[in-house]
Structure 1
Amino acid sequence: MKELITNLKGDKGIWAFVMLLALISFMPVFSASSQLVYVIGKGSTIGYLVKHLVHIFIGFGLIYMVHRVPYHYYRALSQVLLPVVGLLLVYTFFQGTVIDGANASRWIKVPFIGVTFQTSALAMIVLMVYVARYLAKVEGKEVTFKSSFIELWIPVFIILALILPANFSTAALIFSMVAMLVFVGGYPMKYLLMIMGMGITMLLLFVMFAKAFPDAMPNRVDTWMSRLDSFFDDTPNEDDYQIEKAKIAIATGQIYGLGPGKSVQKNFLPQSSSDFIFAIIVEEYGLIGGLVVLFLYLMLFFRFLVSAHKAKSIFGKLLIVGLGFPIIFQALINMGVATELLPVTGQTLPLISSGGSSIWMTCIAIGIIISVTKKEEEIAQELKEKEDREAALQQIIDEHILREKQREEAEALGLEQPAAFSIEEAVNPMRAVMGK
């Protein structure tokens, strides 16, 4: 265990907050899973807890493996994986199978393993790395709208077009995070405003087409469109039930909560262990518990800011911003949905909600971020070792000059001369620096 901890490189603050969030997740998931067991009659609470433990364990294994890879390798990897992700999204869009009674237009099942995962989550990671690669490549160069549109925005719009019909919230999150990243990366503001105008126009055209030809679109379009209508004009919607139960859970929790495992609304609230787990946390642990979770995400956000500031390369900075900020924004969106500040989106609470693909994709993003901080630590360590070697060499030179001066003074006075500066004395300081 000690050796494993020693091998954990990178920003220790990020490691610590990620581990704390993962540890916090066990009690709410264990408690909320009783809704699936006693109400739906599926599985056992211990089984769901073990399943969540396995997901977390695999997630941290992914962080460890990914953070060991030098982050600049992901620059080329994003170009290779982007077409692959596009094909996966096309397959996901057309597969038309059902998972637990729900339309599976957002998931695919891995053959032979039986594991399902959300392709849009993987697409988001690959796309953000791809955008960071492009911005790092054009840094300090004059960017034209035509060249950037072909190389940057066409791939972005293709990925978003494949995600939008089945998952509006993820498509909106990706587009907003890409816009934020290109703004941070110094992309010309006038071009960015043009792109945002084009994006909003295409979204409106898509909505008009979906309303005019409802049978041509998958049923997920009706779902997210009705959610928006319900949020903005109080149109009755099936999601009203979830929101009402979430608000009851939050109001019941008050300051200190009902206590671990004592949630009542978990028996009535659908998706209590995933999309609405924050409401269960507040019900059982009160306002204090909810604020603790929010504080941990904000501290993780602070560590991302610090790490991005410390990163020496523009690619490293953009990777941290492009992969780290969406994790925090997704958490805030999840909390906003539970408190009815935002319409229902289906976004999980990163590292806390149950669900393998959500945890694993978040862990891959965190692994890449830690890989950037690990490289910066290695550079700082090499710089320190260089400074130590130079200091040791200067010590040798100063000692040699002092000894020679003493010998000259002794010779001039006719006194016994001190011993000459030996080779052993010269190499000792260097051996100390090199650890020999």
Structure 2
Amino acid sequence: MQTLYNNIKGDRLIWAIVALMAILSFLPVYSAASNLAYKGDNGNTFGFFIKHFVHLFLGFAIMYGVHKIPYRYFKGLSLIMIPVTLVLLAITMLQGTTIDGANASRWIQIPIVGMSFQTSTLASVVLMVYVARYMSKVEDKVITFKSSILPLWMPVFLVLILILPANLSTSAIMFLMVIMLVFLGGYPIRYLAVIIGSGVLAFAMFVLIAKAFPDAMPNRVDTWMSRIENFSNPEVTEADYQIEKAKIAIASGGLGGLGPGKSIQKNFLPQSSSDFIFAIIIEEYGLIGGVIIMGMYMWLLFRIVLVSQKADTLFGKLLALGVGLPIIFQALINMAVAVELFPVTGQTLPLISSGGTSIWMTCLAIGIILSVSAKREEIKEQEDIELAEENPLEILSETI
């Protein structure tokens, strides 16, 4: 154990936060998955526990391996992974598979291991690394709109276009995070206004085309409009079923909750172990449990910003923020949906919800952040060694 601890680099508090969140996720996921077990797995709830454990174990293995890679290597890797990601997204969009009759075009099937993989989550991490690379590359140059169209915005819009038909919320979050990252990197605001306007216009055209040719993307635009209408219009006759059950779960929890495993709404709430896990947490652990979970994400945000501030290069600063802030933003959206502050989006609660792809890509992003912080530690250690070599008597006197 001591050897493992010595090999762990980077911000120790980030390691502690992530490990604690992973441990705390077991009880609510195990509890919420019970209805799925009784519906399709002959009541075998332990299988879901093992599955979640395997996902987390692999996630931490990814995080450990990635944090050992010097973060400067991610510049070149992003160039390689952008075309790979575009191919995977195209295959995923054209695949058109279904899972239990539902639209599963967000996932790509991997026949060798018999599992599915949500390519948009990988694309999100790769794209943010790519954007951080570009902004650090033009750090000391005059940025013009024309010069940035092909190397920066073309890959961004290609990725978003391939994700949009099946996953509006993810593409919208990615677009917002890219805008935020290039703004922090010093991209001119007047050009950002043009990009935002172009994005809104492209989305409007997509909606019009989808309405004109409904067979091409059945039910997607109608689903988005229905969710927004249910959220914005309290007089809708058929209220959104998921939100209603989530609100009942939250109201039932009160201050201290019903207790571990005693949730009632998990038997009625769809996606109770993933998209609406926050409602189950409040039902079983009360407002106290919900505040603790929110506080841990805020703590993680503080550490991510701290790692960014201490990074030795602009690429390191933008990289930590680029892959870290979407985690917090996704968590806030998930919690906002559960309490009806935001329309239903289908976003999971990072590191808490069940689901392999979400856990693995979140751990990949955190591994990158830890790699940035590990470099800072390495520089500090080197500075201490150099100081000791220059002033050996001073160091000796301090030791005595």
Given the alignment of the two structures, is residue 384 of structure 1 paired with residue 381 of structure 2, yes or no?
no
Instruction: Write out per-residue CA displacement over residues 118-140 of structure 1, whole angstroms, 9 at most, x where no aligned residue.
Output: 10000000000000000000002
How far 1:213 sits from its partner (Å)? Answer: 2.1
Letter in 2 for 1:281: I
How far 1:234 sits from its partner (Å)? Answer: 4.7
**Does the 8 Å CA contact 2:11/2:373 hold for their aligned counterparts?**
yes
**Does the 8 Å CA contact 1:86/1:159 hold for their aligned counterparts?**
yes
Partner of residue 241, structure 1: 241
How far 1:299 sits from its partner (Å)? Answer: 0.2
**Does the 8 Å CA contact 1:227/1:237 hold for their aligned counterparts?**
no
CA gap of 1:382–1:266, structure 2 versus 1, over 3 A, is same
**Does the 8 Å CA contact 1:260/1:284 hold for their aligned counterparts?**
yes
Deviates more, 1:67-76 or 1:218-227: 218-227
Deviates more, 1:258-267 or 1:109-118: 109-118
> Which structure's CA Rg is the greater one?
1
How far 1:96 sits from its partner (Å)? Answer: 1.2
Given the alignment of the two structures, is residue 182 of structure 1 paired with residue 191 of structure 2, yes or no?
no
Q: How far apart, in 2, do the equivalents of 1:356 and 1:43 lie?
A: 21
How far 1:92 sits from its partner (Å)? Answer: 0.3
Partner of residue 149, structure 1: 149
Partner of residue 162, structure 1: 162
Partner of residue 8, structure 1: 8
**Does the 8 Å CA contact 1:109/1:115 hold for their aligned counterparts?**
yes
**Does the 8 Å CA contact 1:36/1:42 hold for their aligned counterparts?**
no
Q: How does 1:95-134 map to 2 (within 5 A)?
A: 95-134=95-134
Which SS does the other structure have where 2:270 is aligned? coil
Q: How far apart, in 1, do the equivalents of 2:320 and 2:311 lie?
A: 9
Q: How does 1:299-318 map to 2 (within 5 A)?
A: 299-318=299-318
Letter in 2 for 1:182: V
**Does the 8 Å CA contact 2:34/2:43 hold for their aligned counterparts?**
no
How far 1:100 sits from its partner (Å)? Answer: 3.0
**Does the 8 Å CA contact 2:55/2:356 hold for their aligned counterparts?**
yes
CA gap of 1:202–1:345, structure 2 versus 1, over 3 A, is same
Q: How far apart, in 2, do the equivalents of 1:256 and 1:177 lie?
A: 35
Q: How far apart, in 2, do the equivalents of 1:227 and 1:96 lie?
A: 23
Q: How far apart, in 1, do the equivalents of 2:66 and 2:348 lie?
A: 22
**Does the 8 Å CA contact 2:211/2:221 hold for their aligned counterparts?**
no
Q: How far apart, in 2, do the equivalents of 1:137 and 1:76 lie?
A: 12
Which consecutive residues of structure 2, in runs of 5 or more, have no partner in the other structure? none
Q: How far apart, in 2, do the equivalents of 1:267 and 1:365 lie?
A: 33
Letter in 2 for 1:274: S
Instruction: Write out per-residue CA displacement over residues 172-216 of structure 1, whole angstroms, 9 at most, x where no aligned residue.
Output: 000000000001111101111110011011111111222222122
Q: How far apart, in 1, do the equivalents of 2:293 and 2:394 lie?
A: 52
CA gap of 1:364–1:218, structure 2 versus 1, over 3 A, is farther
Q: How far apart, in 1, do the equivalents of 2:114 and 2:239 lie?
A: 29
Q: How far apart, in 1, do the equivalents of 2:57 and 2:76 lie?
A: 28
Q: How far apart, in 2, do the equivalents of 1:237 and 1:135 lie?
A: 49
Which SS does the other structure have where 1:300 is aligned? helix
User: Percent of aligned positions with the same letter in both sequences?
Assistant: 61
Partner of residue 227, structure 1: 227
Number of residue equivalences: 398
Deviates more, 1:163-172 or 1:209-218: 209-218
Q: How far apart, in 1, do the equivalents of 2:242 and 2:226 lie?
A: 14
CA gap of 1:224–1:189, structure 2 versus 1, over 3 A, is same
**Does the 8 Å CA contact 2:11/2:374 hold for their aligned counterparts?**
yes
**Does the 8 Å CA contact 1:282/1:290 hold for their aligned counterparts?**
yes
Q: How far apart, in 2, do the equivalents of 1:239 and 1:322 lie?
A: 36
After superposition, the CA RMSD in angstroms is 1.8
**Does the 8 Å CA contact 1:308/1:316 hold for their aligned counterparts?**
yes
Which SS does the other structure have where 1:216 is aligned? coil
**Does the 8 Å CA contact 2:246/2:279 hold for their aligned counterparts?**
yes
CA gap of 1:242–1:382, structure 2 versus 1, over 3 A, is same
Q: How far apart, in 2, do the equivalents of 1:55 and 1:181 lie?
A: 30
Q: How far apart, in 1, do the equivalents of 2:31 and 2:171 lie?
A: 31
**Does the 8 Å CA contact 2:227/2:240 hold for their aligned counterparts?**
no
**Does the 8 Å CA contact 2:90/2:162 hold for their aligned counterparts?**
yes
Which SS does the other structure have where 1:349 is aligned? coil
Q: How far apart, in 2, do the equivalents of 1:54 and 1:220 lie?
A: 33
**Does the 8 Å CA contact 1:239/1:344 hold for their aligned counterparts?**
no
Partner of residue 53, structure 1: 53
Partner of residue 361, structure 1: 361
Which SS does the other structure have where 1:345 is aligned? coil
How far 1:395 sits from its partner (Å)? Answer: 6.4
**Does the 8 Å CA contact 1:253/1:286 hold for their aligned counterparts?**
yes
Instruction: Write out per-residue CA displacement over residues 75-104 of structure 1, whole angstroms, 9 at most, x where no aligned residue.
Output: 001011101100100100011111233222
CA gap of 1:116–1:238, structure 2 versus 1, over 3 A, is farther
Which SS does the other structure have where 2:105 is aligned? coil
Instruction: Write out per-residue CA displacement over residues 212-247 of structure 1, whole angstroms, 9 at most, x where no aligned residue.
Output: 221222443332232223223358598711100000
Given the alignment of the two structures, is residue 277 of structure 1 paired with residue 277 of structure 2, yes or no?
yes
CA gap of 1:171–1:42, structure 2 versus 1, over 3 A, is farther
Q: How far apart, in 2, do the equivalents of 1:258 and 1:366 lie?
A: 33
Partner of residue 374, structure 2: 374
Letter in 1 for 2:284: E
Partner of residue 325, structure 1: 325
Q: How far apart, in 2, do the equivalents of 1:164 and 1:228 lie?
A: 17
Which SS does the other structure have where 1:113 is aligned? coil
Deviates more, 1:114-123 or 1:31-40: 31-40
Partner of residue 208, structure 1: 208
